Amino acid sequence: MTSHLLARFRVAPAGFSESALYVRHRDGMIDDEGLHLMKGGRATFDTTFGVFSAGRWARLTDINDVLVRIHVTGRVRVELVSYADGVDTVVGVSESDNTVRCDDFRALSAESMYVCVTALEDRVVVKGGEWRTMTAPQRDVRLGVAITTFNRQEYVLKTIERLVDLESSIPEMTGHLRVLVVDNARNLQPEVPAGAPFRLVGNPNLGGAGGFARGLIEFREEGWSTHVVFMDDDISLEPEAIVRTVALLSHANSPDLCVHGAMMSEEQPWMQFEAGSHYEFRAVYPLRAVGRGIDLRRRADVVRDALEEDLHYSAWWFTVFPMHIAKDNPLPVFVRGDDVAFGLMHTGEHTVTMQGICVWHADFALKNNPSSLYYEVRNFALIDTLVFDDHKARHLAWRYLGFGFRNAYSHRYASAEYMIRGMRDFLAGPEEWMRIDHAAKHDQVRQVTEEKAGPLTPELLALGFTPPRPKFIRLGGYLMAPFLGAGQFLPGPLRSGAVGVAQIDVRAVGLAIRHRSILYRHPRFDEGFVCERDYRRFARIQREVFATTLQLLRTYRKLKKAYRGAYPEMVSTESWKERCGVS
């Protein structure tokens, strides 16, 4: 009988700092060949890249049986282990052909399954293995990979190489994968083998939204792909994410199933940054990441099952959806929020995650700056207006005032000013939005020189962090900030001449009352920036925030109607082709 690949697992690459993401072992040694074990040595694959998420596979797919096959040199005992309710149970053993089969894994009611390998002689080398099934796939999945890039050659060339190699070296992937890279910088020169399923398309710099819109249009008109994955150009890809995605979609009960790859921290490879997200339009901070801060070296977080989250959207560092769901193109927003809108409107409710489907990405705290807030204010206002029928002017005004003043009252004046610019562009209406030259606009917006993380001097590094005050004191300071004019009216004896120090991703309103200067620094890297109190700038920001808020309250109902009326044209293939210069 023919078996079908569900997932692969392997020993960690030699030199990788967090081998426990791949395999756990004692008395072993990892090199380029694999994991070397002496007699009695033991390796277990109850890891994020080794475990078979039995509960999720049972709910989402039609498979009934699983078999596991180990790639090893030397004689070993292979044990198939079922985990449920804190109990590990051996459900199959092999000492002959390194293969163990479970004909009805659903009957186990397992949360997860994994493999243990014990060396029965010296000099055993464990390389990895495969999860397979005899259950035939429900559909033929042909995955189009759309990558948008702008001067990220170091990352994207490695990703291209891994994808092309995956398609050619894994029989189940051959003929099921095509890669399209949209180069917004028009300077990428990949070296790809002749005949590889790869295509490079030059594009104007229309941001991530423009690149992914171009990729989606190309795949739609080509007519080959059943599914598309949007993938960032600045990720480190574990190719196994593609293998598991194709297998999951092939066996999925729902033809609408979408898959999201979790983001792992590039700086701390064991930490999960986000596995999907919720969106609360009434909140000052609308984004609500799911699964943030989980240490995936911890066995309990890997083997435990949980029902699928009701996700609202998935970020475009790795998100997969069937072509029939993608009838609309992304919004023309350049960056920030394009994936939020697409998820809320089309894919979010169908999206799931899975252990081992993930990518590594750089910490966003180092990338955020005032220009990011320009896009967030402008684009999230558009998203709320288009998506939520019960979204009112007061909701947007509350977020704008709340976050705007948090920036102004914490000496982050550039952030507040860029928020005002974003609100003004939203208030200009859809006709002006459609006339935006996105590349030129981005060149203007990114010229900000303030509040951008950079290397810190030894003197600033020596400051450490200001010890946090008790919560009731911090709350009191926050509430008193308006009455104290952000510290302007604070009595001299209560002021501090020292530099206050806060984490880079907070708004230190309490510190700003007492300190003229605040160092915002990253908690794990020697980078940050200093903000200084400026009363005149603060007063001007207050006036402009109030003025734009009043304009918002007066015109929002009309704007909402206008933006909704313009939406079909904003996302149409014709308008995107015109922006891209495609006839």
| 381 contacts 430 by C-beta, under 8 angstroms | no
| 407 contacts 376 by C-beta, under 8 angstroms | no
Q: What pTM value is reported for the model? A: 0.92
CA distance 124 to 34: 10
Q: List the chain pLDDT tens, one digit each, 583 residues.
A: 799 999 999 999 888 999 999 999 988 999 999 999 999 999 999 999 999 999 999 999 999 999 999 999 999 999 999 999 999 999 999 998 999 999 999 999 999 999 999 999 999 999 999 999 999 999 999 999 999 999 999 999 999 999 999 999 999 999 999 999 999 999 999 999 999 999 999 999 999 999 999 999 999 999 999 999 999 999 999 999 999 999 999 999 999 999 999 999 998 999 999 999 999 999 988 999 999 999 999 999 999 999 999 999 999 999 999 999 988 999 999 888 899 999 999 999 999 999 999 999 987 766 778 999 999 999 999 999 999 999 999 999 999 999 998 999 999 999 999 999 999 999 999 999 999 998 899 999 988 889 999 999 999 999 988 877 676 666 666 667 776 777 777 777 778 888 999 999 888 888 888 889 999 998 888 999 999 999 999 999 999 999 999 999 999 999 999 999 999 999 999 999 999 999 7
Strands (E), 64-197: 66-73, 76-84, 87-94, 99-102, 112-119, 124-133, 143-149, 177-183
- 290, 437: one domain: no
Task: Look at residue 557 and tell me if it is in a domain.
Answer: no
Distance of CA 181 to the CA centre of its chain: 19
Indicate if the alpha-carbon torsion angle 372, 375, 378, 383 is positive or negative: negative
Domains of the chain: total:
3
Q: List the end-to-end C-alpha distance of the chain, in Å, as a whole number.
A: 50
Beta-carbon contacts of residue 334 (< 8 Å; ≥ 6 apart): 206, 207, 208, 209, 210, 375, 438, 441, 442
Task: Look at residue 449 and tell me if it is in a domain.
Answer: yes
Report the CATH number that the domain containing residue 347 is assigned in CATH.
Answer: 3.90.550.60
Closest CA to 9 of 67, 71, 84, 56: 71
Task: Look at residue 461 and tell me if it is in a domain.
Answer: yes
Q: What CA–CA distances, in Å, run from 210 to 214, 317, 439?
A: 6, 15, 10
- 240, 152: one domain: yes
Q: What is the DSSP letter of 346?
A: I
Beta-carbon contacts of residue 547 (< 8 Å; ≥ 6 apart): none
Beta-carbon contacts of residue 219 (< 8 Å; ≥ 6 apart): 144, 146, 180, 225, 228, 323
Both tokens assigned to 532:
């200084």
SS (H, E, C) 414-478: HHHHHHHHHHHHHHCCHHHHHCCCHHHHHHHHCCCCCCCCEECCHHHHCCCCCCCCCHHHHHHHH
Q: What is the DSSP letter of 139?
A: S
> Could you count the other beta carbons within 10 Å of the beta carbon of residue 462?
8
Give the Cα-Cα-Cα angle 256, 261, 262 (nearest 5 degrees). 135
Give the Cα-Cα-Cα angle 324, 326, 332 (nearest 5 degrees). 165
Task: Look at residue 574 and tell me if it is in a domain.
Answer: no
Torsion of CA 185, 189, 192, 195, to 10 degrees: 70
Task: Look at residue 422 and tell me if it is in a domain.
Answer: yes
CA distance 49 to 548: 50
Give the Cα-Cα-Cα angle 116, 122, 125 (nearest 5 degrees). 55
Task: Look at residue 138 and tell me if it is in a domain.
Answer: no
- 352, 442: one domain: no
- 445, 508: one domain: yes
Name the domain boundary from 334, 366, 398. Answer: 366
Distance of CA 513 to the CA centre of its chain: 35
Report the CATH number that the domain containing residue 68 is assigned in CATH.
Answer: 2.60.120
**Burial of residue 51, with CB atoms counted within 10 A of its CB: 0-12 exposed, 13-18 middle, 19 or more buried:** buried
- 426, 404: one domain: yes
- 411, 488: one domain: yes
- 126, 206: one domain: no
- 311, 181: one domain: yes
| 413 contacts 538 by C-beta, under 8 angstroms | yes
Task: Look at residue 263 and tell me if it is in a domain.
Answer: yes
Beta-carbon contacts of residue 293 (< 8 Å; ≥ 6 apart): 271, 272, 273
- 440, 508: one domain: yes
Half-sphere exposure of 401 (CA within 13 A, CB side): 17
**If you search the block for the tokens 């993938």, which residue do you land on?**
231
Return the SS3 of 259: strand
Name the domain boundary from 87, 102, 133. Answer: 133
- 203, 325: one domain: yes
Task: Look at residue 152 and tell me if it is in a domain.
Answer: yes
- 416, 344: one domain: no
Name the domain boundary from 366, 384, 415. Answer: 366
Q: Domain span at residue 444?
A: 370-536
Total H helices, total E strands in the chain: 16, 27
- 207, 184: one domain: yes
Q: What is the structure's pLDDT at 157?
A: 96
Q: Backbone phi, then psi, for 448, in 5-degree steps?
A: -55, 135
